[in-house]
Amino acid sequence: MNDLDRFGVTTEGFVLKGIDRIIADQQARARAMFGEDVDLTSGSALRKVLDAAAVHVHELWRGLEAQYYANFVTTAQGPGLDLLGTDLGLPRRFLQATGEVSLTLAGAEPERRFILPEGTVIETAEAPRKRLRTTAAVRLSAGAPPVTVGVRAVERGPAGNVAAGVSLRLEPVWAQLHLNLGPATVTPANPEPVTGGELLEPDDAYRSRLLGVPRTLWTQEAVLAQILDVPGVRDAAIFDPLGGVDASHSRFHTFLFGQRPFATQRQIGSPYYFDVVVAVEPGWPWRRTDGDIPAVHDAVVETVRQWRPVSIFPNVNPANQVDVGIRAALVVQPGHDPDAIKGEILAAVQARVDRLRLGRGVLHSDIVLIARSTAGVVDVQNLRLRRCAPAFGDVSHSGAVFGNAQELSVGENLLLAPDEIARFALDSPLIDIQVSSQ
């Protein structure tokens, strides 16, 4: 039997038997049973019966194929993926409800503008409180019409849904710490409901979580997987100098096992600390005094406490956030709207930077590619990356830079330390893009 005649479970996976092969096999069996002269033309009754049966047989083969691939996380879908997640103790999560709210500014001084950053916390005025976070920065000015912005529920599941017309307000503690409204007031309203919390996460997101489930208890990967699952955590990193062998050392492979250690030896009877650096999503409070939303620091500490061995303690610190900006000159084709082109480029750059993890720098080539791929852009000239180093830092690993803003040379990448994370704001003063027609 050659490889073309092998169907079902093979060393290469499940080989599906096509309907053409099924029809050919059925016709061969009909000739063997009724003779070579049996009528199998397209108009014969026997041919019609065989074709109808072939369709059902093909569906059976497809069901067997789906059943086979439902045994693996990388290929399972729907209920099959749910069963694999149950075996791993990681059920499918609910989504966060999404919608839109309109923000109305009142009582502001004439010609004064306010910027509500991404992650501004909005809550229902009546108990039980349901809290929402804005998904983009908003500019408000006196006398201007209300501005609509997207929101996402803080809590996952149906409990995060908000009915239309519910009385809303800015979360008082968060607004006092992060906004300077003075006598002005901002009134949110949701003409349409905020829905979607009753939906479950899609297969691709659920599959990536299942593939990341660690198979060991106390490793950096196991603890990191638990931290990344904490609400409000954008990314995290663990610095554990005594937690294992560092194979990157030049002296690796030169030690005699049992005689010398690979790293600094821990003193007997002394507690052992490791560092956890956490990058927080916009709007989430780090400490419980920063807002009424559950603090990320406390949630991370509680999570690590459940997974750490005895006498091993975490030092949980916030990541150093680095604001990223760009300066460039764009040449566009005549007839294109310069403001629209600029807005499209900035939105694409923000989406790109938001996907970066701790320690991952911003590549000059990526920004150039985004700009040149925008419709109407002819050329990108003198593009430089800018960074505003963090003013304060609780932890520094491998040279985080503090101080004034920096502008890099043309073609130079913006490199970050392991405890730094990039952030790109659409309203950043570090953005300077000049647009001219060809």
Helices 296-307, 220-228: crossing angle, 10 deg rounding = 150
> 51-60, 310-319, 350-359, 373-382: which range is least confident on average?
310-319
At residue 149, the pLDDT reads: 93
Domain span including residue 47: 3-69
At residue 248, the pLDDT reads: 45
SS3 state of residue 349: helix
151 vs 99, 100, 191, 345, 379, CA distance in Å? 5, 5, 13, 22, 36
* Higher per-residue confidence, 438 vs 128: 128
> Would the pLDDT of 24 be above 90?
no
Same domain (yes/no): 393, 420: yes
Q: Judge whether 425 lies within some domain.
A: yes
Same domain (yes/no): 232, 185: no
SS3 content of the chain, % helix, strand, coil (to 5): 30, 25, 45
d(CA 70, CA 270): 49
Do the Cβ atoms of 73 and 83 come closer than 8 Å? no
- Cβ-in-10-Å burial (0-12, 13-18, 19+) of 317 comes to buried
d(CA 57, CA 24): 13
Determine the Cα angle at 346 with ends 341 and 348, to 5°.
95
Q: Judge whether 388 lies within some domain.
A: yes
d(CA 118, CA 133): 8
d(CA 48, CA 399): 76
Q: Judge whether 105 lies within some domain.
A: yes
pLDDT (tens digit, 9 = 90+) per residue, 338-360? 888 988 999 899 889 988 999 89
Same domain (yes/no): 311, 355: no
* Higher per-residue confidence, 313 vs 390: 313
Structure tokens at 237: 């990193």
Cis peptide before 418 (omega within 30 of 0): no
Same domain (yes/no): 143, 178: yes
Instruction: Report the relative pairing of strands 312-318 and 272-280 from DSSP bridges.
Output: parallel
60: enclosing H helix or E strand: helix 45-69
Residues paired with 221 in a beta bridge: none
What average pLDDT score do residues 141-148 get? Answer: 87
d(CA 340, CA 433): 12
Number of structural domains, the chain? 4
pLDDT (tens digit, 9 = 90+) per residue, 115-127? 888 889 999 998 8
Same domain (yes/no): 261, 248: yes
pTM: 0.69
SS3 state of residue 97: strand
Q: Judge whether 270 lies within some domain.
A: yes
Same domain (yes/no): 158, 112: yes
Residue at which a domain ends, from 318, 347, 382: 318
Structure tokens at 45: 């009754």
d(CA 289, CA 285): 8
SS3 state of residue 357: coil
Structure tokens at 123: 């809550």
Same domain (yes/no): 277, 305: yes
Q: Judge whether 314 lies within some domain.
A: yes
Give 334's pLDDT tier (boundaries 50, 70, 90): confident
Same domain (yes/no): 149, 111: yes
Give me the CATH number covering residue 295. Answer: 3.30.300
SS3 state of residue 61: helix
Q: Judge whether 206 lies within some domain.
A: no
Phi then psi dihedrals of residue 102, to 5 deg:
-105, 135
Same domain (yes/no): 221, 178: no
Determine the Cα angle at 363 with ends 360 and 369, to 5°.
135
Same domain (yes/no): 127, 59: no
What average pLDDT score do residues 263-274 get? Answer: 61
pLDDT (tens digit, 9 = 90+) per residue, 183-225? 889 999 999 999 999 999 999 999 988 887 776 666 777 888 8
Largest CA distance in the chain: 97
SS3 state of residue 319: coil
* Higher per-residue confidence, 14 vs 149: 149
d(CA 429, CA 407): 13
> Would the pLDDT of 269 be above 80?
no
- Indicate the average pLDDT of the chain: 83
Q: Judge whether 198 lies within some domain.
A: no
Q: Judge whether 148 lies within some domain.
A: yes
Who contacts 346 (Cβ-Cβ below 8 Å, separation ≥6)? 426, 431, 433
Residue at which a domain ends, from 318, 335, 370: 318
